[in-house]
Structure 1
Amino acid sequence: MAAQKEEYGAKDLAVLEGLDAVRKRPGMYIGTTDSQGLMHCLWEIIDNAVDEALAGFCTRIVVTLHTDGSITVADNGRGIPVDKEPKTGLSGVEVVLTKLHAGAKFGNSSYNAVGGLHGVGSSVVNALSSRLDVEVDRNGKTYRMEFRQGHPGVYTDADPSHPSPASPFKKTRKRSPTELREVGTVGANVTGTRIRYWADPEIFNSTAKFSYEQLIDRVRQTSFLVPGLSITVVDENIPETGDESIDDLRETDETPLVQDRSAQASDRTPDQDSGNESKDVERPAEESIPESATVTEPAGHARVEEFCHTGGVVDYVDFLSKGEPVCGIWHISGEGTYEEETQVVGPGGDLHAQMVERTCGVDIALRWTNNYDTTIRSFVNVVETPGGGMHVDGFLNAVTRQVRKTVEANARRLKVNLKDAGTKIERDDVTTGLVAVVTVRIAEPQFQGQTKDVLGTAQVKPIVTRLTDKQFGEMITGSKRGYKEPSSRVLEKIVGEMHARIQARRTKEVTRRKNALESASMPSKLSDCQPGNDDIAELFIVEGDSALGTAKAARNSGFQALLPIRGKILNVQKASVSQMLANKECGAIIQVVGAGSGATFDITQSRYNKVIMMTDADVDGAHIRILLLTLFYRYMRPLIEAGHVYAAVPPLHRIALTGKRKGEYIYTYSDDELASKVAQLRRDRIGFDEDIQRYKGLGEMDADQLADTTMDPRTRMLRRIRMEDAAQAADIFDLLMGGEVPPRKKFIVDNADDFDRSNIDA
């Protein structure tokens, strides 16, 4: 049967006008309609204000989170143009907020290096808002315009101080005069823009949630990248007590309300090529946000956080650095030019191709720490590029090349065998522990998509490479004054990482449990389990040789392996990679686990399903567990993240029952539990030996007792080590196990009253 012919003509074509296309396909413009898209809209508005700061016309931005869910972004930039745009006959405000691919960033006169380049940011946010209000201060006057789902018109609010998307709205008719109207006056020198918008629930799904933490992170990040720019976040949803009020934001900028001191530089080292520091910024009162900047004033004092930094990327690297620094912060900066063919708007409004000369500004800060994590943040005109791109490639290529050359030139001092083909510095060796911020500023950068994840402008790469080659080369070779000693420390760390990588690879090759010969390569003190039980195999790290004898008799050798350690192992949070590898206890643990260490750790190659720390139930035992956990966290972190690391829970006391229940025992695990259990036995009139045994160590138990209480999966109790917040865990390990004594002492003193010994392993 022949298929029925369907008619298909021009009448079947749908034409979406204006911003309707954005509402129909929002994912094309903001990626998603969940929380990510919701935050993307806010970034678009904030970035427009930041672009004014980059152009040199804005010094203050205020972001206000209102109790009704709306958000206001206010700046003291030049203000959106309010005069008529010749081609459309509309005001500049309406053009910017209703026309896609419209704005001053397509030309070369107003903006040279900006974040928003596609000309869709403000108009897209407008289209996806149930309501958007804009106020502009220019020419001594305040102008106002309102929109509903992208369409201009006028709202009639019952209470103008509490505007609402549900208020009556009169839509402007097509070909009618614009609804931009004068609503007040300001000082002759006062300029700025305020945009308040309500995200449309018809667009964003029910899972879309606003993240205050993401906003603070983005604002702090921007304050680093635009030195001297003050950005304030006012959250009316969380009132706080205090003498300051929101009026302080309006009347003066002389003293910032809350200064972000978290990234202020520590004592500078001689190899840090910058004297900038974060500090309070004083500005004359006329630069402050005018009174109309805050649309509504909450009752009481809202949460206010202000960020302002003057040190730029150097301060940013200092803020991002975790762990003990190997060197100070090294600074690379400069600029280069390149030619690019681009479409230019001619006098008649037509586009034509033209070769133009561009300037690329480069600003990079970097340092190495004793961690093995790599932290590289990259930006183009303050827009983050999580996927990197040409600027990051140029930077890493130059750094890796210069390190290789310097290592080869100093092979004897660094103990590197150049004759061994396998001994070669790789990029991973260089980036281990590296903290870097890479920024470039260029006109009309080419991004991959509207979300701007990757920089694609190819001409940027050779400029970044050339500048990094020259300046970093002088630093790493020590030829630049003040860099000889820190460069030596950096090279030693990188060479140590290379040796660790090579050793990890060799360890993997010799620690596969495939045959008896392979098992023989394990440490002699390892009492391994039988092969073939990898899915349930357990490795007990046992404190002391005395407990080892009892544990051997108590274990199930089919799947339980034992590795004894002698007392307290090396604190690897303070030690270098080479020191860790040289330590027999640490090296044995890494070799026995069999999955490598550091950046090369591969959890799929682990020889055991569970790694169990079995130490005495005393303070020394707790300290040994912390030292072991530090080793696992620093060099075998995926084991903790996947929940494969445990702490055994041996008992503290044994109560021997008497009378009819003679031969039965009750084990308790704390003094409080003992007191409670004794009271219960007396209350129930159950006889027991008053001479209660207190275990001082695992070696005091016989095999049956150790098996029943600590090792037998049917009767034992284990505590799984979890790490829900990696960043918080890193801070805690650095605080408690690192080399800085004063912060640790302060932490202990401040928290002494709240300490609960029973929570050591909780």
Structure 2
Amino acid sequence: MSERHSSQLFNQGRRMTAQPYAAETDAYTARHLLVLEGLEAVRKRPGMYIGSTDSRGLMHCVWELLDNAVDEALAGYGDAIDVIVYADGSVEVRDTGRGIPVDVEPKTGLTGVEVVFTKLHAGGKFGGGAYGTSGGLHGVGASVVNALAARLDVEVDRDGATWTMSFRRGRRGIFDGPGPKAPFRPGGGLAKARRLPRKVTGTRVRFWPDPQIFLRDARIDLDALIARARQTAFLVPGLAITIRDETTAYAETFRFSGGTKDFADYLAAEAGAQTSVSGTLQLRGTGQFTETVPVLDDRGHSVPQDVIREMVVDVALRWDSGYDTVIRSFVNVVATPKGGSHVTGFERAVVKVVSDAARSARLVKDEPIVKDDVLEGLTAVVSVRFPEPQFDGQTKEVLGTPAATRIVFDVVSRGLRAFFSSTRRVDRQASRAVLEKVVAAARTRRALRAHKEAQRRKNALESAALPAKLADCRSTDASRTELFIVEGDSALGTAKLARNSEFQALLPIRGKILNVQKADLSDMLNNAECAAIIQVIGAGSGRSFSLDAVRYGKVIIMTDADVDGAHIRCLLLTLFFRYMRPLLDAGRIFAAVPPLHRIEVSGRKDPVYTYSDAELHRLLADLDRQGIRYKTPQRYKGLGEMDAAQLAETTMDPAHRVLRRMTLTDAAAAEAAFELLMGGDVVPRKEFIAASAATLDRSRIDV
């Protein structure tokens, strides 16, 4: 076959196979284009407007209605909002604001109620003067909820009457009965239900989620609703928000008067903050910026115009003795969980001012202070209010207005500089404590980097870097291994003979470890005993602590049953509480309970052990009453007085021993006791000693 003939056949085959594809392409015409009008786009792509169709998207619908009610309160109209969750799955939001306008909007010829609930990008928050600041800005909130509702009922108290209107999947109509399954007739309009005094105003919106849109397991999150109501009541002082849930009979009203300062204190307490380092600071201020926005002229045309905006900044912050950072941000009372430009300005201001203050106080030289150092233990509420903020998406999780960064930076910088340069004694002490905490965090960060390798989890074969005094176990199964922290080398010798070396490891400590209540983390890591404990446990400390990396299933404190032993146990508990708290949360810290007395009883092969003086006296009284002879009881002053068999039987053998699980309450009490007895504040210690002197039991003093 010639090359020319082959080419002709190839081209012919190529044309034949291409014909069906060409036919399909030629069939793509304008009639294939789908034009979605009005609320049809919302029902076709609900994720674009509410994020998802699960419980999160359902809650977003509730937020849209709640935000509208809050905007009325922000504008100075109404001081009460009710949110009711009904047993049939519907939700109602009631407010005492001005009420949605019921007159006719001239451009559309529709009443204000119908415009709000059926037209996208329509409302009173586009700069028309109805709202100074608001959380709803895109004009799609109420209409989106309506489009995704199997039924939506609106009642408006305004102009001396109650006006009603109902919708089904965005279309107005009349329901012949209660609930979304009642017969529905399209049509109708805004109806006057009854007369009212002209001073009575408000809006009530109840919607039933559409099962065609939302997933079957989509539910109202009551906890999220309560949290939202609480935070809104903090941010709008004087506003009462009531949450009622018919399914659980829950009802609670939230109303606060303190604003962001009280909110910061609440968040710190909720996060488990123990001691405030700085007190709560409230920084307020305003700033202006120019924004080019489209404005409607007299003929209804959109023209660009420069508008001067004013932003109100309200920030409350406090540093606590812990490590966790809690920053909550809001724009016009709407939470922005993913931050945005206002949070960026806040963080930049805090880091810069604190860094400059630390250098001015000569607490640091060339060592850099980074954001994590400054934010350690910080609780803050960052709230801004201004007209028409720019959000990234309808879900309003991120503020995008660029000017917010500069304005928040300026306000926070001025307030913090005033705090760190204040001549008031209280402010000087608090600012110095903040700087020392930040500098300590910076030292700790560098120390942790140096100790990174030592803090990694190691198994028994990789224990070259572990302390030489550790008597490790053979098993590497953390579900059954135990680490005994033993007081003194003398007890270690007996414990080595008493233990089961398959799963029980021993770490001796020399006397009383460092009081970490007064020392910073850098000093703690430089302390041989504390560093050895952290290194052996193998999971890091502070923020870097990882419970999954712990090398032992149980950590058991085994000290003598005397005052010194109790002192050492408290010191160890304070160490765990401050730097390895997840161990306490998981219930993996225990205290061995060795006996105090050993009694050999006539006629019994095994001795009897007692664990307190009261228990010993009861036992001896019973023996005397029964006429049973016994030898003089032996009093154990320390673990070293037991032989290996006795120590194993009473304290180390899982089949016979007694262990006390240490809880977070025990550790918190230990830390509080050490803060009182050994902390840096002298006055509370002096008062405690003076008040407790008369109640001292001198027989308990170990002399």
Partner of 2:56: 36
Distance 2:568 2:673 in 1: 14
Bigger shift: residues 623-632 or 393-402: 623-632
Q: Superposition pairs for residues 131-146 of structure 1, below 5 Å? A: 131-146=151-166
Distance 1:59 1:87 in 2: 32
Distance 2:666 2:330 in 1: 27
Compared CA separation, residues 532 and 106, structure 1 to 2 (3 A):
same
Alpha carbons 2:488, 2:508 under 8 Å: kept: yes
Partner of 2:691: none
Task: Work out whether 1:197 is the aligned partner of 2:227.
Answer: no
Partner of 1:407: 358
Alpha carbons 1:648, 1:719 under 8 Å: kept: yes
Alpha carbons 2:593, 2:659 under 8 Å: kept: no
Distance 1:33 1:561 in 2: 53
Q: Superposition pairs for residues 388-403 of structure 1, below 5 Å? A: 388-403=339-354
| Matched length | 641
TM-score by length of 2: 0.78
Compared CA separation, residues 730 and 565, structure 1 to 2 (3 A):
closer
For residue 631 of structure 1, report the CA deviation from its aligned partner.
3.3
Alpha carbons 2:574, 2:667 under 8 Å: kept: no
Residue 169 of structure 2: which of 139, 149, 156 is its match? 149
Alpha carbons 2:573, 2:670 under 8 Å: kept: no
Residue 529 of structure 1: which of 459, 465, 472 is its match? 472
For residue 715 of structure 1, report the CA deviation from its aligned partner.
10
For residue 205 of structure 1, report the CA deviation from its aligned partner.
1.9
1:18-44 CA distance string (max 9 Å, x none): 323322322222112222222221111
Distance 1:359 1:29 in 2: 28
Distance 1:666 1:30 in 2: 70
Residue 225 of structure 2: which of 215, 218, 225 is its match? 215
Residue 379 of structure 1: which of 330, 336, 339 is its match? 330
Alpha carbons 1:496, 1:577 under 8 Å: kept: yes
Distance 1:478 1:703 in 2: 63
Task: Work out whether 1:13 is the aligned partner of 2:28.
Answer: no
Residue 2 of structure 1: which of 1, 9, 17 is its match? 17
State the identity %: 53
Alpha carbons 2:293, 2:304 under 8 Å: kept: yes
Alpha carbons 2:152, 2:205 under 8 Å: kept: yes
Distance 2:556 2:650 in 1: 14
Residue 180 of structure 1: which of 187, 190, 203 is its match? 190
Task: Work out whether 1:94 is the aligned partner of 2:114.
Answer: yes
Distance 1:357 1:580 in 2: 54
Partner of 2:145: 125
Amino acid at match of 1:210: I
What SS does structure 2 have at the residue aligned with 1:213?
helix
What SS does structure 1 have at the residue aligned with 2:312?
strand
Distance 1:410 1:324 in 2: 23
Partner of 1:309: 256
For residue 509 of structure 1, report the CA deviation from its aligned partner.
4.5
Q: Superposition pairs for residues 334-349 of structure 1, below 5 Å? A: 334-349=285-300
What SS does structure 2 have at the residue aligned with 1:348?
coil
Partner of 2:432: 488
For residue 70 of structure 1, report the CA deviation from its aligned partner.
2.3
Distance 2:266 2:201 in 1: 33
Compared CA separation, residues 713 and 455, structure 1 to 2 (3 A):
farther
Alpha carbons 1:655, 1:666 under 8 Å: kept: yes
For residue 506 of structure 1, report the CA deviation from its aligned partner.
2.2
Alpha carbons 1:335, 1:359 under 8 Å: kept: yes
1:478-504 CA distance string (max 9 Å, x none): 357852121111111112222222222
Give the superposed CA RMSD. 4.5
Alpha carbons 2:559, 2:568 under 8 Å: kept: no
What SS does structure 2 have at the residue aligned with 1:105?
coil
Compared CA separation, residues 695 and 18, structure 1 to 2 (3 A):
farther
Runs of 5+ consecutive residues of structure 2 not aligned to the other structure: 1-15, 613-629, 689-703
Alpha carbons 1:447, 1:457 under 8 Å: kept: yes
Distance 1:391 1:730 in 2: 38
Distance 2:635 2:220 in 1: 54
Distance 2:184 2:561 in 1: 72
Alpha carbons 1:610, 1:646 under 8 Å: kept: no
Partner of 2:555: 612
Compared CA separation, residues 194 and 544, structure 1 to 2 (3 A):
farther
Distance 1:364 1:37 in 2: 30
Task: Work out whether 1:563 is the aligned partner of 2:510.
Answer: no
What SS does structure 2 have at the residue aligned with 1:136?
strand
Task: Work out whether 1:318 is the aligned partner of 2:265.
Answer: yes
Compared CA separation, residues 506 and 92, structure 1 to 2 (3 A):
same
What SS does structure 2 have at the residue aligned with 1:37?
helix
Distance 1:454 1:120 in 2: 18
Amino acid at match of 2:432: S
Amino acid at match of 1:200: D
Distance 1:212 1:731 in 2: 31
Alpha carbons 1:651, 1:667 under 8 Å: kept: no
What SS does structure 2 have at the residue aligned with 1:452?
coil
Alpha carbons 1:80, 1:93 under 8 Å: kept: yes
Residue 439 of structure 1: which of 372, 383, 390 is its match? 383
Partner of 1:262: none
Task: Work out whether 1:589 is the aligned partner of 2:533.
Answer: yes
Alpha carbons 2:127, 2:388 under 8 Å: kept: no
Bigger shift: residues 620-629 or 111-120: 620-629
For residue 626 of structure 1, report the CA deviation from its aligned partner.
7.2
Distance 2:448 2:598 in 1: 44
Distance 1:617 1:730 in 2: 19
Partner of 1:104: 124
For residue 549 of structure 1, report the CA deviation from its aligned partner.
2.2
1:157-216 CA distance string (max 9 Å, x none): 2xxxxx3222222222xxxxx511000122112211111122233332233232222211
Alpha carbons 2:90, 2:208 under 8 Å: kept: yes
1:291-323 CA distance string (max 9 Å, x none): xxxxxxxxxxxx432222222111111111221
For residue 395 of structure 1, report the CA deviation from its aligned partner.
1.2
Amino acid at match of 1:334: G
For residue 369 of structure 1, report the CA deviation from its aligned partner.
0.8
Q: Which has the larger radius of gyration?
A: 2
Distance 1:151 1:489 in 2: 62
Distance 1:615 1:669 in 2: 15
What SS does structure 2 have at the residue aligned with 1:53?
helix
Runs of 5+ consecutive residues of structure 1 not aligned to the other structure: 158-162, 173-177, 240-302, 671-688, 746-762
Partner of 2:452: 508
Distance 1:347 1:189 in 2: 33
Bigger shift: residues 609-618 or 102-111: 609-618
Alpha carbons 1:612, 1:646 under 8 Å: kept: yes
Compared CA separation, residues 235 and 607, structure 1 to 2 (3 A):
closer
For residue 515 of structure 1, report the CA deviation from its aligned partner.
13
Partner of 2:181: 166
Amino acid at match of 2:303: H
Amino acid at match of 1:170: R
Partner of 2:237: 227
Distance 1:665 1:108 in 2: 90
Distance 1:345 1:367 in 2: 45
Alpha carbons 1:539, 1:563 under 8 Å: kept: yes
Partner of 2:394: 450
Task: Work out whether 1:465 is the aligned partner of 2:400.
Answer: no
Alpha carbons 2:358, 2:435 under 8 Å: kept: yes
Distance 1:118 1:208 in 2: 25
Compared CA separation, residues 95 and 630, structure 1 to 2 (3 A):
farther
Alpha carbons 1:372, 1:634 under 8 Å: kept: no
For residue 589 of structure 1, report the CA deviation from its aligned partner.
2.3
Distance 2:674 2:168 in 1: 56
Distance 1:568 1:608 in 2: 24
Alpha carbons 1:651, 1:695 under 8 Å: kept: no
1:410-435 CA distance string (max 9 Å, x none): 22xx4x4x2xx5x3322111111111
Distance 1:393 1:471 in 2: 17
For residue 363 of structure 1, report the CA deviation from its aligned partner.
0.7
Alpha carbons 2:576, 2:584 under 8 Å: kept: yes
